[in-house]
Amino acid sequence: MPLPRTLLPLEALHTAVHHRPAPVVEVTPLDEARGRYLASPLELPRGGRAAIALGLASRVLCDGYALAEEARPGEELEVVGEIGATSPWPGIELAEGRCARVECGARVPALVQCVLPVSCALLVGEGRIRCEDAVPAGAGLLRLQDLPAAESLEAGERLSPRLLAQLAGLGVEELQTVRPPRVGVLSVGDELTAAPADASRREERDLTGIWLADALVAEGMDPAALGIVPDDPAEIRRVFLRARRRRLDVLILAGGLGDGISDRTAEAIRTLDSRILFERIHLRGCSSFLFAKASGIDVFALSGLPLAASAGHDLFLQPALRARCGARRGLWDWSRGRCAPRARESAEASPPPPLPPEPPWRLLAARRIAGGEGGAAVSIDGLALAVWEPGDPFCPRTPGADGWAVAAGGPAAVGEPLFYLPLDPSLR
């Protein structure tokens, strides 16, 4: 049997990403694009197609009264019309002493100079109001002509629900996106059960299966649940053939990668006429991770230990899947977030030291902390962290932590991490 091919962490990351197939680009309706990534840059129109077509100049930011000039305290105005948020402008002429009742969101022409809020107006008779406060020109209006002529989104931008809402408001109806891969998830282990474990029967709850499918859904994929199989190469092969018949693009296995007698996932994958690109990583705490190509399917295998499986997903599987889905590099390449040995205080700061050519590399589960809290403390560019060695496979921090720090040897309390991958997107 050949020795397992073992890579350094950065080699494993870039190998998993580099061997992805060419993207499949689709024209996707806006309401089906959630979680996908843009396949090409998108130029956004100023203010929306509807506003441009009507020649309208502004949108109303509050419920109130549209005026053709500044409002003066004590001035009485005649209300000559009403315009709802979705109503077209009725062609009202706003001469001196006249106004129109408008709702927030209404589109109005350039002759409207300001909007008097309802809270600043007093009804003094039928169809008449009095200004209770001064309102300058431009108040209560979003002027479309003051917005940039056009904005653009980069290829690889993730289409979040909020971004899709903005695009809907601009009149965008469909997008060119990268089709996400068809993914299947299989848990491997004689002892695993999807139900709560029965200790008398020596069962273990499938902890990784609880969150892995949801993590894939959050990335815009629709994973096929392939269940749980025992540590038996024949059973794994049977599920692989079923995945091939279903034309899955990616098969993810969780479990059976250790050095135990019953750990036979790698053996099973070798029987599939596969090409294993690597099956070990020089990363203490996350050494078991396999990537192979088999009959047109990308096969990834995670450790069966919950914390190691979380790290394998966050550091290697998720980046590989994001890159395959068309994500821009900043959303998957955590190697670009390398930390300097100390916080950089000036442009004259020396560059980071070269990467260690040989292991051991170590993985630390990291959590942001305030001063005075326990745990081995590490500083990354001035950010205080508490770190835990993932030696206990059933650490209460599973599945995952607020981030992962990758270091090269040395005790956690004194070693400086080389890389930090925050799970909080705001820290990226």
**What pLDDT, in 10s, does the model give residues 319-329?**
999 999 999 99
Cα distance between residue 253 and residue 236, in whole Å: 9
More confident residue, 48 or 23: 23
Name the residue with tokens 């998957």.
332
pLDDT at 145: 63
Cα distance between residue 224 and residue 321, in whole Å: 15
**pLDDT at residue 384 above 50?**
no
Rounded to two decimals, what is the model's pTM?
0.70
Determine the Cα angle at 393 with ends 387 and 397, to 5°: 45
The structural domains of the chain, with segments of one domain joined by +, span 6-25+180-334, 28-40+153-178, 51-145, 339-427
**pLDDT at residue 71 above 90?**
no
pLDDT at 192: 79
**pLDDT at residue 81 above 70?**
yes
In terms of residues, how long is the chain?
A: 428
pLDDT at 410: 47
Q: How confident is the model at residue 143 (pLDDT cuts 50, 70, 90)?
A: confident
**pLDDT at residue 231 above 60?**
yes
Q: What is the mean pLDDT of residues 29-33?
A: 94
For all residues of the chain together, what is the average pLDDT? 78
**pLDDT at residue 196 above 90?**
no
Identity at 75, one-letter amino acid code: E
**pLDDT at residue 350 above 50?**
no
pLDDT at 197: 60
More confident residue, 196 or 99: 99
User: Which class is 6-25+180-334 in CATH?
Assistant: alpha beta
Say whether 51-145 and 6-25+180-334 share the same fold: no
DSSP 8-state symbol, 269: H
More confident residue, 322 or 198: 322
Both tokens of 119, joined, read 């809270």
pLDDT at 286: 83
pLDDT at 309: 87
b/e for 50-74, b at 16 or more Cβ within 10 A? ebeeeebbbbbebbbbbbbbbbeee
pLDDT at 142: 83
Both tokens of 76, joined, read 């009485």
Most confident of 256-260, 271-275, 374-378: 271-275
Which residues make Cβ contacts (< 8 Å) with residue 287, sequence separation at least 6? Answer: 280, 281, 308
Identity at 377, one-letter amino acid code: A
- Over residues 40-65, the pLDDT tens digits come to 999 876 555 444 444 556 889 999 99
**Integer CA distances (angstroms), 152 to 71, 146, 157, 322, in order:** 37, 17, 11, 21
**pLDDT at residue 383 above 90?**
no
SS3 149: coil
For 51-145, which CATH superfamily applies?
Answer: Molybdopterin biosynthesis moea protein, domain 3. (2.170.190.11)
More confident residue, 389 or 347: 389
**pLDDT at residue 336 above 50?**
yes
Ranges assigned E (strand) in 198-241 = 204-205, 224-229
- Over residues 165-186, the pLDDT tens digits come to 888 877 789 999 999 999 999 9
Q: Are 413 and 405 in contact (CB under 8 A)?
A: no
More confident residue, 105 or 413: 105
Cα distance between residue 304 and residue 314, in whole Å: 15
